[in-house]
Amino acid sequence: MRIANRWRTHHCAQLRATDVGRKVRLCGWVDRRRDHGGLVFVDLRDREGVSQIVFHPEEYFEAAEIGKALHAEDLIQVEGLVARRPEGTENEGLATGEIEVVAQSVRLLNACLPLPFPLDAVVENEELRLAFRFLDLRRRRMLENLRLRHRITRAVRDYLDARGFLEVETPILSKSTPEGARDFLVPSRLAPGSFYALPQAPQQYKQLLMVSGIERYYQIARCFRDEDLRADRQPEFTQVDLEASFAEPEDIQSWVEGALEKVFREVVGTDLSLPFPRMSYREAMDRYGSDKPDLRFGIDLYDVGEIFRGSDLKVFRAVLDAGGVVKAVNGKGLARIGAAELAALEEIARGLGGKGLAYIRVESSGWKSPIGKFLTPGERDALALALGATEGDLLLFAADQWQLACEILGRIRLRLADLSGEPKEHSEWKFLWVTDFPLFAFDREEGRWESMHHPFTRPRSEDLPLLEEGRYGEVRALAYDIVLNGTELGGGSIRIHEAELQQKIFSILGIDSETQEQRFGHLLKAFRYGAPPHGGVALGLDRLAMLLAGAESIRDVIAFPKNRHGVDPLTGSPAEVDAKQLRELRIAISGRGNA
């Protein structure tokens, strides 16, 4: 890195014993000052690191006077001589620890007010950190997070470039398609009453690029969704978005695996073993009660319906007779948990819509359980065998429709892992492809079918007859999600490229022909002009960076994130605008607050 110019000759992590005697000039912030009355030391910091500056009052009085008066985070320019530190005062913990710069002159370039929070300690007050984000980003940890993110995108770009992917930008001012998340809208001045929408993803544009014959496209794409925020959700976020023509799911998956392998090798020095395991949606739900199972621990769900098929336990029997399932999970060693914890587990079940959560404490004195008296010795033996139950275990049961029973125990499983102190090492990377998602999910409240992934997802060809027969819930999609340690890192699919099939899917989703033409006419039109088969995937860059950084929130890997309410406390966005601006847009505010 070339750095020398009139401001500075080196950066603060650059100088070594071989530079002793050299006259240098450094610029940086006062990381720490140690004033010995006479002698003053300053750790001078820039992006690259730290050098110790020493002020000798007898030799360089004026410089020392300035040095004495410095404060934390003052910005200074120092000119001086590189000197070897006296025998025994070297600092082995510092790359530049063999030398120091003897200040001959120093300029205070810009002073710093007393800091609102320390830069070298944990600060819980995130609101304050965001309000002073420019200072927060000076912290080593945050700087390294940004650097890590940079390295990720660079590795991804290198990888995809080497495989013939073209980076193409797509519009930010886009068109609203009311399916999916809520859109951010941008009013058009030139067409009053009309609005652009910020893209939730470049989905349709990248498919159009495939029709254009681009063949392999990628983009580090900003996406916008106007939904409530979470630790891993911001209203604007970034996806590594790619699409390829003439590609099978295996092609897409191997590109993702290859890119991630390169990222992990180059960014954190970890070798991933490829390919990642695959698991069908059905199996993931059956075994782990989740479509993004965390495989760092091995608590499995079991179907124990057969054991209760002839049971006296009416609640279980009724569910089974109605076509439901009885599933169970074994919390090894958790018979010890108290009533409050147990109630919390039941609350998880109820919160999801379950009727309850049966439990059995396996204790030395016998099985302690409200359902205990309904169990025959044979049933107990069968359960113990199926669940591997031994003394001290806590068995939990959900009896419900398959989907719900799985989801309930899936949540319980995560909670049990916490309770039992299962190791969840950040350095352990458990990747998984979840495949064969259902194409549709039935929305009970709306009383209609919805796309599980999105409406452009291609059904498996062998399931096309099911589509004709109206057995929508059974149709599987050529879709795949990539999961890392229980986090959905991304997902993709092979797309529909035929106008007729696309129209059929739209119709099943309850979008009539007129609306189809209105909202998706451009896509349907394009499909009639020799659209190639194609598919792709999108990876959540923020989440990937968060996991690699060992951060708790994607806010820690985004330079200027929004808080819980979509507000940036630093700039004060969003903000009201001038009446003149609104007039130009022909917008009238009808009311504030509970409008």
Binding residue per annotation — 323? no
- Decide whether 46 or 261 has the Cβ nearer to RNA: 46
Binding residue per annotation — 415? no
Alpha carbon distance 548, 152 (integer Å): 9
- Decide whether 42 or 279 has the Cβ nearer to RNA: 42
CB of residue 45 vs RNA: minimum separation in angstroms?
11
Binding residue per annotation — 234? yes
Alpha carbon distance 479, 488 (integer Å): 14
Binding residue per annotation — 540? yes
Binding residue per annotation — 488? yes
CB of residue 494 vs RNA: minimum separation in angstroms?
15
Residue 112: how many other CB atoms lie within 10 Å:
15
- Decide whether 94 or 186 has the Cβ nearer to RNA: 94
Q: What is the DSSP string of 274-339?
A: SSPPEEEHHHHHHHHSSSS--TTS---EEE-GGGGTT-S-HHHHHHHHTT-EEEEEEETT-TT--H
CB of residue 177 vs RNA: minimum separation in angstroms?
7
**Given the DSSP bridges, would you call strands 236-245 and 534-540 parallel, antiparallel or unpaired?**
antiparallel
Q: Which residues of this protein are in contact with RNA, per CB under 7 A?
A: 32, 34-39, 41, 43, 52, 54, 56-58, 71-72, 85-86, 88-91, 93-94, 97, 100, 114-118, 121-128, 177, 179-182, 200-201, 203, 225, 227-233, 351, 450-455, 553, 555, 563-565, 567
Q: How far is CA 348 from the centre of its chain?
A: 24
Binding residue per annotation — 94? no
Binding residue per annotation — 120? no
- Decide whether 225 or 327 has the Cβ nearer to RNA: 225
- Decide whether 332 or 413 has the Cβ nearer to RNA: 413
The radius of gyration of the chain's CA atoms, rounded to the nearest angstrom, is: 30
CB of residue 75 vs RNA: minimum separation in angstroms?
15
- Decide whether 11 or 562 has the Cβ nearer to RNA: 562
- Decide whether 313 or 549 has the Cβ nearer to RNA: 549
Binding residue per annotation — 453? yes
Beta strands in 68-206 (DSSP E): 75-84, 99-110, 166-167, 185-187, 195-197
585 in Cβ contact with 579 (< 8 Å): no
- Decide whether 189 or 230 has the Cβ nearer to RNA: 230
CB of residue 539 vs RNA: minimum separation in angstroms?
13
Alpha carbon distance 54, 468 (integer Å): 81
Alpha carbon distance 462, 595 (integer Å): 50
Binding residue per annotation — 261? no
50 in Cβ contact with 134 (< 8 Å): no
CB of residue 306 vs RNA: minimum separation in angstroms?
30
Alpha carbon distance 430, 312 (integer Å): 42
Checking 373-377 for CB contacts under 8 A at 24+ apart, the result is: 374/311, 374/312, 374/313, 375/311, 375/313, 376/311, 376/312
CB of residue 33 vs RNA: minimum separation in angstroms?
7
Identify the bridge partners of residue 81 per DSSP, sorted by sequence position. Answer: 23, 102
Task: Give percent helix, percent strand, percent coil of the chain, each to the nearest 5.
Answer: 35, 25, 40
Burial degree of 339 (CB within 10 A; 0-12, 13-18, 19+): exposed
- Decide whether 90 or 517 has the Cβ nearer to RNA: 90
Binding residue per annotation — 541? yes
219 in Cβ contact with 203 (< 8 Å): no
CB of residue 182 vs RNA: minimum separation in angstroms?
7
Name every residue whose Cβ is closer than 8 Å to that of residue 426 and which is 6 or more positions away in sequence: 547, 550
CB of residue 40 vs RNA: minimum separation in angstroms?
8
Annotated binding site for ATP: 225-227, 234, 488, 540-543
Annotated binding site: 179, 225-227, 234, 453, 488, 495, 540-543
